[in-house]
Amino acid sequence: MKKLLLVTGLLQKALWCTVFGFQFLAKRVFPAVNCLLKTESLKFAKLLLIGLVLFHAGSLIAQDMDIVPKPTTLKRQEGVFRLNHDTRIICTSESKEEALSLKQYLEPATGFKMPLSRGSRSLANSILLHLDPELKTGTDEGYDLKVSTDRVIIRAAKTAGLFYGIQTLRQLLPVDVYAQHVTQQTWSIPCVVIEDEPSYPWRAMMLDVSRYFFDKTYVKRYLDIMAAHKLNVLHLHLVDDPGWRVQINKYPKLTEIGGFRGKGVNRYGGYYTQDDIREFVAYAAKLHIDIVPEIELPAHIQSALAAYPWLGCTDKILETPTECFISRELLCAGKDSTYQFLEDVMTEVVELFPFKYIHIGGDEARYDRWKTCEHCNKVFKAKGMKEYNELQGYMTRRIEAFLLTKNRSILGWDEITHMGLSPNAAVMTWHRPETAVAAAKAGNSVVMALTGHAYFDTPESKLPGEPPAATWLAPISLEKAYDWEPAPAALTGEARKHILGAHGCMWTDRFMHNPILQDFPALNEARSYEYVEYLSLPRMAALAEVTWTPQEQRSWGSFEARMKQQYRRYSYNGYNYRVPLPKVNKPVKTSSGFRITAECPVNNAKICYTTDGTYPNAYDEVYEKPILVNDPSEFRAVTVVNQRHVSLAFAFPQDDGKKMGDTGNDSNGLVLLKNK
């Protein structure tokens, strides 16, 4: 009995060590427990205590509650709140839009009507959305969420905070709540107290609709995906060499000619009418997402020159490119007609997009045309310029001055930092982190869209089976998309505050190189949707946590564990996503062969495997317990969520035979594939 009490005390200490993150102490305590439990008389107690350890460990892990992005603070309370047919939503007129959103989120799966009542006081069996201007949060997007056994209260100073509190509330419910049909379920919400707010005000995705056109229906779908991740800015890449996608009434040929490429049966394109844009801008506003339009200048604009050749330096008749490349054609920087065109375009653009920033591109301009242009050289010499990037700076500042009269600021890729930045200009750093440091120290706002962490048009790995994706960059795994901090370490104090946040980029030039990715109307296949979502998810979740959760509270292990449930949310929503490979440990040599253990990375999914070197599928053997194999190099495994969602295959490297001979060590092996 004394031994049992001693063991219990040691276990309690070990558990508390785990709570506070002192795993190195826990590792010392558990061996002592094991030593005490070796006697035959304590076998039952050993089993009992192991069960208790697992139970409590599970409770500790559950404190994260599988919420993505992870809240700033979360305290688990006793009990649950249960939704039922009589649960109502209480709101004021100011929070009615958020209440309607909550109602629309909950009704399809629960079947409950969730009636709305006007008021500002909580009642039993209700969800109160309370706007409280006195609530002290660091940003307008912060919120408090309190779930007790008889009511739910979400408080925020602004409606954006209420909306984000609703997203968290959805994740606290059983995952079936994301289903689009009624499911039989006890709709329990664990009692919690959450105080939450984002680390950065800019949490964004870019969707390239110029190289491949997505209709307004898909833009709305992409906005929904972003909103579920608490992202708040969509950057629409509306203009590039292969396509002009926004209707400009004064210049109809921009979309009539520049909006399409190719001829005859190969003609492809499309554009958004101004009514289309107003529609999805309004839709985005309900999701508390701002839309940044990008109108490129002076490069990446051959689509405009194809429509109006006089915009260029040569007046040459051009076509909208059918292949993706960086055109040498530029807007002429020396003609007044160019600036009149840009002012006319921007006048219509700012009327369509109410957000503060207009993205003007500014990247990858090659000055060959300007160097031989009579009009450009006249300005070049008159202004006493020495380099042609100064001429680009002249154009940029001239358009910026016009936009300032419309209460707008420019945002440009990091090349604009070498052209003389004005104090109001914002920089989007994509490939030279030092530009972010310099701009922030100079007082300019900066958004981080780094190629090494946030270019989601790259694959996650080099494994066979990844879809065609950008090859000019190394793959960006989910862990790499997670393991960074937007604010450079070199920045401190006030300069660090100029880093607005981070920006994931979904370029679509691969569609021009790989027709197999394009939609196939004859088969009713929206391949483009599948492709964009496969590359965006789950890396969008990593970006969301990087920009929402404080760096000191983030850890890859915690994120990976919480993602197990997030994948199921994607499935219920009907989103496509990249399924993670099984987590397979290094084989352990035994007298009977090699023992292989594995862990499924998705809740309620399964691992299917083969041991003869063939590629596994959803109908192969299901992994349920450690297995013995004669040759680990012939082992293959996939994660199977459902028939639609199956991972690429895991395999041990075939040249790793010597390492596989190690004994007594279950350290993690490499996730590699040799696809037969």
646's tokens? 């199956």
Q: What is the pLDDT of residues 285-333, one digit of tens each?
A: 999 999 999 999 999 999 999 999 999 999 999 999 998 888 999 999 9
Whether 103 has a pLDDT exceeding 60, the answer reads: yes
Provide CB contacts within 8 A for 492, sequence distance 6+.
Answer: none
State what percent of residues in the chain have pLDDT above 90. Answer: 81
In angstroms, the CA 547 to CA 482 distance is 10
How far is residue 422's CA from residue 282's CA, in Å, rounded to a whole number?
A: 31
| Third-level CATH fold of 202-573 | TIM Barrel (3.20.20)
Q: Strand pairing of 202-208 and 188-196? A: unpaired
> Is the Cβ–Cβ distance between 626 and 587 less than 8 Å?
no
C-beta separation of 232 from 202 below 8 A: yes
Identify the pLDDT of residue 93: 96
Q: What angle do CA 480, 204, 472 make, to 5 degrees?
A: 45
Determine the distance from the C-alpha atom of residue 239 to the mean position of all C-alpha atoms in its chain, rounded to a whole number: 23
Q: Which residues of 321-340 are buried (b: 16+ CB within 10 A; e: fewer)?
A: beebeebebbbbbbbeebbe
Q: What is the pLDDT of residues 117-141, one digit of tens each?
A: 999 999 999 999 999 999 988 899 9
Is 364 catalytic? The answer is yes
- Topology (CATH level 3) of domain 73-196: Chitobiase; domain 2 (3.30.379)
Residue in 240, 414, 415, 545 annotated catalytic: 240
The verdict on whether 240 is a catalytic residue reads yes
The catalytic residue among 351, 364, 494, 621 is 364
* Whether the Cβ atoms of residue 372 and residue 313 lie closer than 8 Å to each other: yes
Place of tokens 């949707």: 529
How far, in Å, CA of 463 to CA of 675, rounded? 9
Q: Are 520 and 527 in contact (CB under 8 A)?
A: yes
The whole-number pLDDT of residue 522 equals: 62
- Asked whether the domain spanning 202-573 has the same topology as the one spanning 73-196, the reply is no
pLDDT of residue 7: 41
Mean pLDDT for all residues in the chain: 89
Is 85 annotated as catalytic?
no
Task: Single out the catalytic residue among 130, 237, 300, 645.
Answer: 300
- What mean pLDDT comes out for the span 338-358? 98
| CATH topology (fold) of 583-660 | Immunoglobulin-like (2.60.40)
* Residue with more model confidence, 20 or 651: 651
Rounded to an integer, what distance in angstroms lies between the CA atom of residue 343 and that of residue 598?
61
Burial track 628-662 (b if 16+ CB lie within 10 A, e otherwise): ebebbbbbbbbbbbeeebbbbbbbbeeebeeebee
Out of 2-16, 67-81, 330-344, 506-520, pick the least confident. Answer: 2-16
Describe the crossing of helices 159-172 and 216-228 by its angle, rounded to 10 degrees: 80
Cα–Cα–Cα angle for 516, 520, 523, rounded to 5 degrees: 125
Which 3 state secondary structure label does DSSP give 622?
Answer: strand
Domain boundaries, the chain: 2-62, 73-196, 202-573, 583-660
Exposure of 384 in the CB half-sphere (CA atoms within 13 A): 0
